[in-house]
Amino acid sequence: MKPVLEYLPGNSGESFVTKFFDYNYYPTPWHFHPEYELVLVTESTGKRYIGDQISDFRPGDLALIGPYLPHTYKNDPQYFEALSTLRAKSIVVHFKEDSFSENFFTLPEAQKIAALLARSVKGLAVKGKTNGAISEKMHMLIDAQGLTRWLLLLDILNVLSESKDLVYICKGIITGQNQMETMRMNKIIDFVIKNFNREILLSEASDLANMTQNSFSRYFSQRTRKSFTSFVNEVRLSQASKLLIETAKSVTEICLACGFNNLSNFNRQFKQIYHINPVKFRKSFINQ
């Protein structure tokens, strides 16, 4: 089975992605992505498939997975039972080298971290005391904001780079290359970014992907862990947050410019994502 490209959208103003996932069971297919991934299982058991290796996972399982290394986590059969109350939870961090800066990894002080990331192409399991230390920092990362958040990720990578508790997961270097999947998802993402300021129909996106609407909806949600509508709205809200900070346009003007036709709906969705209404969001930056 060919691995598929996964796209995990980030938030405006953040250089890397941190997510806490809480599922009935892990839904992600066999996939790869260009980002480095730190994944900490906080609840559930099952089989971990990374590159050419299969192993059991349980709470506390922690791995650093390099770019384009195919992987998936499959829960045990009881998680799929209709009346199951079991939960599959994890903290996932996606970042790229440019999450730091263009020349960061040429600095003498960053050479150990650069070496760590080079080793991650075979996947690295984090064991021993380092596992506990990094797990604690990843829980902190969920609520961290601003520069504190970035420094915390840097601290995590620094601790890992100096640890002797890391074990290679794969025997060889395995990379996921699915040109058709990559081109298809990039085409959809580009389409949304170029057209977010108008109504975007599901039929337009499904036609672009050469799929039926139902097939496209399943395809998109499997690869991004959210519905197509949710993704479109997140792109719109990301642009709205930028306009609130960088321009003097009214909230109503920004609402319409970002593809929302209803101001109350815009305010509601903005607050769901940023936990503050647009007016207070703007004032918080003006007062800084």
Residue 252 is which amino acid? T
Distance from C-alpha of 278 to C-alpha of 271, rounded to nearest angstrom: 7
Q: What pLDDT is attached to residue 178? A: 63
Angle at 205 between CA 6 and CA 236, to 5 degrees: 75
Q: What pLDDT is attached to residue 241? A: 84
Radius of gyration of the chain (CA): 20
Q: How many residues appear in the chain?
A: 288
Q: What pLDDT is attached to residue 172? A: 77
Distances (CA, A) of 56 to 72, 120, 124: 12, 19, 15
Domains and CATH numbers, the chain: 4-168 (2.60.120.280), 179-286 (1.10.10.60)
Q: What pLDDT is attached to residue 281? A: 86
Give which of 1, 144, 153, 158 is closest to 71, Cα–Cα: 1
Q: Fill in the DSSP letter of residue 9.
A: -
Q: Read off the pTM.
A: 0.73
Q: Which two tokens stand for residue 36?
A: 């480095």
Q: What pLDDT is attached to residue 128? A: 96
Q: What is the largest CA-CA distance in the chain?
A: 57
Please list the residues that pair with 89 across neighbouring strands.
22, 43
Q: What pLDDT is attached to residue 88? A: 97
- The one-digit pLDDT tens for each residue of the chain (288 residues) are 567 767 666 666 788 999 999 999 999 888 888 899 999 999 999 999 898 788 899 999 999 999 988 899 999 989 999 999 999 999 999 999 989 987 898 899 999 999 999 999 999 999 999 999 999 999 999 999 889 999 999 999 999 999 999 999 988 776 666 666 667 877 888 788 889 899 999 999 999 999 999 999 988 887 777 789 988 988 888 888 888 888 889 999 999 999 998 999 999 999 988 888 999 888 876 665
Q: What pLDDT is attached to residue 173? A: 74
Q: What pLDDT is attached to residue 28? A: 85
Q: What pLDDT is attached to residue 23? A: 95
